[in-house]
Copies of this chain bind each other. A is one copy, B any other.
Amino acid sequence: MKKYSGQSGMLVAVDCIIFGFDGDELKLLLIQRGFEPEKGKWSLMGGFVQPKEGLEKAAARILKQLTGLEDVYMEQLYAFGEPTRDPAERTLSIAWFALVDIHKYEKQLSDDYHPEWVSVKKLPPLIFDHRHMVEMAKKRLQYKAALHPLLFELLPDKFTIPQLINLYQAVYDKKLDKRNFNRKILSAKLLVKQTHKEKANSRRGAFYYKLDKRKYYSNPEAFMSFLPTRNIFS
């Protein structure tokens, strides 16, 4: 089939904003860029989309290459396309954000990229428009986590309510009313109480909980129960 005439292409990259939670702080996985321009500077994980590769595939491939992780929560964030965003050549970037369980993350085999978890509150200068991408990803995370039980992706399989509260506090950078949060989260009936306790952080200990995965995955829309639609359509 005839190609389009008179049109010129541009490079297309994907960049991944990878969030993790270490029990205390919300963190971002950064690398030191391995090639010019800006070689050695802090950067999001990224790479070029290959000729026969879709965008989702490219993002998953890059995540796998650099972290060893597969099947993690990933969502397209935004396409960044300012003509001068990359000084070397016109490059469009499709940014994705990913939520990973930091404990499942294995140091990648190669040390070429020097990946490091950095607190979102103490980010170093980032190349190009990566800082802008991170800010947008943080906002999207806050927005969505207010409507959906998204943040469980950042936790290990078993977690305590104090850990969960710490996570919400880190994402929103705010102190929460613990009793109120406790009541709300349990009334959502998403959690299954375990029989044993975590005892490292307090004498009384805190029961472990697991996410009810069947409920969680079966109908994500159902969790939008706080939306005004419910009132409008009642």
Q: Which A residues are closer than 8 A to B by beta carbons?
A: 1-4, 7-12, 36-37, 48-49, 51-55, 76, 78-83, 87-92, 94, 146-147, 168, 172, 174, 176-177, 180-181, 184, 224, 226-229, 231-234
Contact = CB atoms under 8 A, between A and B. Distances in A.
Contact of A231 (B2, B92, B180): B180
B172 A229 contact: yes
A87 B4 CA distance: 11
Given A10-B12, A228-B184, A79 B54 contact: no
A227 B225 CA distance: 9
Contacts of A49: 10, 81
Nearest to A93: B79
How many identical chains are in the complex?
2
A12 B92 CA distance: 9
Nearest to A53: B83
A9 B79 CA distance: 16
B4 A11 contact: yes
Interface centre among A1, A81, A227, A229 (most CB of B within 10 A): A81
Contacts of A82: 54
Nearest to A221: B143
Given A54-B81, A227-B147, A234 B8 contact: no
A37 to B, nearest CB: 6
Contacts of A79: 55, 76, 79, 94
Nearest to A181: B232
A4 B88 contact: yes
11 contacts: A2-B36, A4-B89, A9-B12, A12-B81, A55-B92, A76-B78, A146-B227, A146-B229, A177-B233, A180-B231, A184-B228
Contact of A226 (B176, B180, B181, B227): B227
A44 to B, nearest CB: 16
B81 A3 contact: no
Contacts of A88: 1-4
